[in-house]
């Protein structure tokens, strides 16, 4: 079967460029953005909730980790907490750019988060629960990236960067479990 060749001329949509001169209140979002802005903002807010829950879980584990391997493991928890915090900032910033409201409401945080909070007291349970949470985050980000596709390249790039770091987190936690 022959591949279908796209013969459309490589020309910009001049009308869309003209429309971009209007609706200045929308800032970075031009009229041709597409009808999915609210859905993208919702996905980003659920991801933000997930990151915030992950920060809390890692902080709890950082401060309560004890035992023979605890100093190095606790340091890793703190590093992850700080990286989740940077993810949360990136997501919140993008929500605002899209004209949305970043939802930091603690009352609904655990309901909106994909990953769970955990207050285990033994090191192995901590590592295991963090690995589960990271794998859930990896799956959620991968699905979001697929759904967004070409609809919003900037949001997709942000999600791809976050996903790569969640995969690193999962990998590091698995190494700890094996030790």
> Is residue 152 a contact residue for Fe ion (CB under 5 A)?
no
**57, 60, 87, 114: which one contacts Fe ion (CB under 5 A)?**
87
Q: Which is nearer to Fe ion, 37 or 135 (CB)?
A: 135
| Ramachandran angles phi, psi of 24, nearest 5° | -60, -25
| Interaction of residue 76 with Fe ion, rule CB under 5 A | no
Smallest separation (angstroms) from Fe ion to the CB of 48: 10
List the interface residues with Fe ion, window 28-67 (CB under 5 A): 51
Contact 71, 121 (CB under 8 A): no
Shortest separation between residue 122's beta carbon and Fe ion, angstroms? 21
DSSP 8-state assignment for residue 22: S
Give burial (CB, 10 Å; 0-12/13-18/19+) of 4. Answer: exposed
| Range list of H helices, 9-69 | 14-19, 37-64
Question: Using CB under 5 A, which of 84, 115, 118, 173 touches Fe ion?
Answer: 84
In the bound state with Fe ion, the residue whose beta carbon lies nearer, of 37 and 59, is 59
Q: Binding to Fe ion by residue 169, rule CB under 5 A?
A: yes
CB of 113 to Fe ion, least distance (A): 11
Long-range interactions of 85-90: CB distance < 8 A, separation 24+: 85/51, 85/55, 87/51, 87/162, 87/165, 88/48, 88/51, 88/52, 88/55, 90/158, 90/161, 90/162
Q: Would you say 17 or 174 has its CB closer to Fe ion? A: 174
Q: Which stretch binds Fe ion (CB under 5 A): 33-41, 64-72, 86-94, 117-125?
A: 86-94
In the complex, the residues that contact Fe ion under the rule CB under 5 A are 51, 84, 87, 134, 166, 169
């Amino acid at each position: 079967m022959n591949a279908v060749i796209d013969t459309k001329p490589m020309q910009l949509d001049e009308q869309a460029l003209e429309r971009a001169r209007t609706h200045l209140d929308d800032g970075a979002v031009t009229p041709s953005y597409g009808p999915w802005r609210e859905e993208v903002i919702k996905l980003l807010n659920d991801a933000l909730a997930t990151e915030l829950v992950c920060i809390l879980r890692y902080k709890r584990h950082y401060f309560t980790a004890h035992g023979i391997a605890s100093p190095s493991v606790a340091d890793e928890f703190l590093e992850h907490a700080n990286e989740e915090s940077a993810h949360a900032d990136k997501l919140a910033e993008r929500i605002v750019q899209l004209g949305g409201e970043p939802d930091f409401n603690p009352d609904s945080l655990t309901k909106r988060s994909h990953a769970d909070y955990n207050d285990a007291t033994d090191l192995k349970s901590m590592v295991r629960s963090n690995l589960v949470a990271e794998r859930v985050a990896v799956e959620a980000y991968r699905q979001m990236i697929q759904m967004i596709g070409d609809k919003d390249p900037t949001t997709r790039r942000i999600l791809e960067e976050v996903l790569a770091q969640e995969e690193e987190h999962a990998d590091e936690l698995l190494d700890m479990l094996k030790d």
